């Protein structure tokens, strides 16, 4: 039986056109920082990719800093601003953030930063009033995911930006999950810093970027030293071939993402409907409307999620963030939403991409439904 990949929130398949764009760079000998002809060729490719990424974001190429991915971009944004601050030390975030943010904030808190985490409601949406109450005149930074990696819930970034800027704070957004579905306008969103990763938008793994407004760049202390690359903001030899791939992926996402989003949302809703029809009760985790087109997080009461996955081994789904796989226990995102541990342990995340086919959805629904039914039967017999 053909394998069905529905874990695109963890990583996406490399687009063949991205691979084709990368091949000359993979074969090229030349460091983009070198002054000779080979280095200058590499540098031109890097700067072309910088323009492609800035076009995806509605930003200036000078505001793009290359990193190894969103985790490094998040670390650079948060640690860089806090370490570069001369007075303000408060950072405000949300309880459902990715571990790349939450663990970085824990390190900063141990270092003396004043970190506040604002709760979300049952749909995973942050309470704007409570967020506003947490942001005071000593707040340096607010950091919020543009789209949650487990539930797909979209953050109201323009409203958050208005609240943060009114207190003199800057806004960072982790947009890792968002950009496969098309470009954004950083000015309209109101963000001052934005993290992105190539492998969540059909580019190669191991490369990403940080959008950094020019005024923020002056306030950010580097967290990595040696070589002065990326205007001294992020030292280290550039992953030139990866950057070329990221640029190609960004250009494709900008042109094809919106249409793909409409098609994939219909497939996501089809999957939800077929599972509800087959193995009710099924509970949606997250907002019913304001979420990513390809993300579906469902609880199947009475069916342990790990057992369901084991019973449908040809369907690649997940119980939570891939970055939390080594940490046993229920999803921190779901428990932060007020979902009890029993139901959280019965939850699966389905992640569709622009390469997902309708026949795959039909097969996945059938296989998962059959596994849920078997697991429920076994658990009933044991009880």
Cβ-based neighbour number of residue 270 at 10 Å: 14
Instruction: Provide the 8-state DSSP code for 220.
Output: P
**pTM for the model:** 0.95
Mean pLDDT is highest, among 1-5, 90-94, 217-221, 229-233, for 90-94
CA angle 317/271/362 to nearest 5° reads 90
Instruction: Provide the 8-state DSSP code for 92.
Output: E
Residue in this structure with the two tokens 């903001």, named with its chain if needed: 233
Of 264 and 219, the one with more pLDDT: 264
Place 218 in a pLDDT band, splitting at 50, 70 and 90.
Answer: confident
* Bridge pairing between strands 315-316 and 4-5: parallel
- Per-residue pLDDT averaged across 186-215, rounded? 97
- The token pair that represents 54 in the structure block: 């800035």
Contact 22/241 with Cβ under 8 angstroms? Answer: yes
CA angle 92/96/97 to nearest 5° reads 65
- pLDDT for 227 equals 79
CA dist., res. 231 & res. 371, Å (int)? 53
The yes-or-no answer on residue 123 being catalytic is no
> Burial letters for 76-89: b for 16+ Cβ neighbours within 10 Å, e otherwise?
bbbbbbbebbeebb
Residue 350 has pLDDT above 60, yes or no: yes
Distances (CA, A) of 345 to 72, 96, 150, 304, 329: 30, 17, 14, 6, 8
Residue 10 has pLDDT above 60, yes or no: yes
The string of pLDDT tens digits covering residues 219-254 is: 999 888 887 888 878 989 999 999 999 999 999 999
Report the half-sphere exposure of 27 (CA within 13 A, side-chain side): 6
The string of pLDDT tens digits covering residues 129-178 is: 999 999 999 999 999 999 999 999 999 999 999 999 999 999 999 999 99
CA dist., res. 148 & res. 177, Å (int)? 7
pLDDT over 90 for what percent of the chain?
A: 89
Domain ranges of the chain: 4-12+257-382, 16-252
CA dist., res. 350 & res. 354, Å (int)? 14
- pLDDT for 235 equals 87
Say if 4-12+257-382 and 16-252 have the same CATH topology: no
The string of pLDDT tens digits covering residues 34-49 is: 999 999 999 999 999 9
Alpha helices in the chain (DSSP H): 16-27, 37-57, 70-84, 99-110, 128-134, 157-166, 186-189, 214-217, 240-279, 305-311, 332-336, 341-344, 358-382
CA dist., res. 353 & res. 180, Å (int)? 8
CB-count burial class (<10 Å; 0-12, 13-18, 19+) for 234: buried
Of 123, 216, 323, 346, catalytic: 323
- The token pair that represents 324 in the structure block: 């939390």
Residue 198 has pLDDT above 70, yes or no: yes
DSSP, collapsed to helix, strand or coil, labels residue 145 as: strand
DSSP H helix total and E strand total for the chain: 13, 12
Question: Dihedral of the CA atoms 214, 215, 216, 218 (nearest 10)?
Answer: 90
- As a three-state string, the secondary structure of 171-192 is EEEECCCCHHHCCCCHHHHCCC
- The C-alpha R_g of the chain, in whole angstroms, comes to 21
> Which residues are CB-neighbours of 107 under 8 A, at least 6 positions away?
79
User: What CATH number should be reported for the domain whose range is 4-12+257-382?
Assistant: 3.90.1150.10
With CA atoms as reference, report the closest residue to 175 among 151, 205, 197: 197
User: What CATH number should be reported for the domain whose range is 16-252?
Assistant: 3.40.640.10
């Amino acid at each position: 039986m053909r394998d069905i990949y529905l874990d695109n929130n963890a990583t996406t398949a490399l687009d063949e056109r991205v691979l084709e764009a990368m091949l000359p760079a993979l074969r090229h000998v030349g460091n983009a920082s070198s002054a000779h002809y080979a280095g200058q060729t590499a540098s031109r490719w890097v700067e072309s990719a910088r323009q492609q990424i800035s076009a995806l974001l509605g930003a200036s190429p000078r505001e793009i800093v290359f990193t190894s991915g969103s985790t490094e971009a998040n670390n650079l944004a948060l640690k860089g601003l806090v370490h570069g601050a001369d007075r303000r030390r408060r950072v405000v975030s949300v309880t459902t953030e990715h571990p790349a943010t939450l663990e970085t904030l824990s390190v900063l808190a141990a270092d003396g930063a004043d970190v506040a985490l604002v709760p979300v409601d049952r749909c995973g949406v942050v309470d704007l009033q409570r967020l506003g109450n947490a942001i005071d005149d000593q707040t340096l930074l607010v950091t919020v995911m543009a789209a949650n990696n487990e539930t797909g819930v979209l953050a109201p970034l323009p409203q958050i930006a208005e609240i943060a800027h009114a207190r003199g704070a800057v806004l960072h957004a982790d947009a890792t999950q968002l950009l496969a579905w098309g470009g954004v306008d950083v000015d309209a969103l109101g963000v001052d810093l934005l993290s992105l990763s190539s492998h969540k938008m059909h580019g190669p793994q191991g490369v990403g970027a940080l959008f950094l407004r020019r005024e923020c760049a002056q306030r950010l202390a580097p967290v990595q030293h040696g070589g002065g690359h990326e205007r001294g903001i992020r030292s280290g030899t550039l992953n030139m071939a990866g950057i070329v791939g990221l640029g190609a992926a960004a250009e494709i996402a900008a042109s094809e993402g919106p249409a793909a989003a409409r098609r994939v949302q219909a497939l996501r809703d089809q999957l939800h409907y077929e599972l509800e029809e087959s193995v009710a009760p099924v509970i949606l985790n997250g907002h019913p409307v304001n979420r990513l087109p390809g993300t579906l997080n469902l609880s199947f009461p009475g069916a342990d999620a790990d057992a369901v996955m084991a019973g449908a081994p040809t369907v690649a789904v997940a119980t939570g963030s891939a970055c939390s796989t080594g940490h046993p226990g229920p999803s921190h995102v779901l428990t932060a939403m007020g979902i009890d541990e029993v139901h959280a342990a019965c939850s699966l995340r389905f992640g569709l991409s622009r390469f997902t086919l309708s026949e795959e959805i039909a097969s996945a629904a059938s296989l998962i439904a059959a596994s849920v039914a078997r697991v429920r039967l076994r658990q009933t017999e044991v009880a």
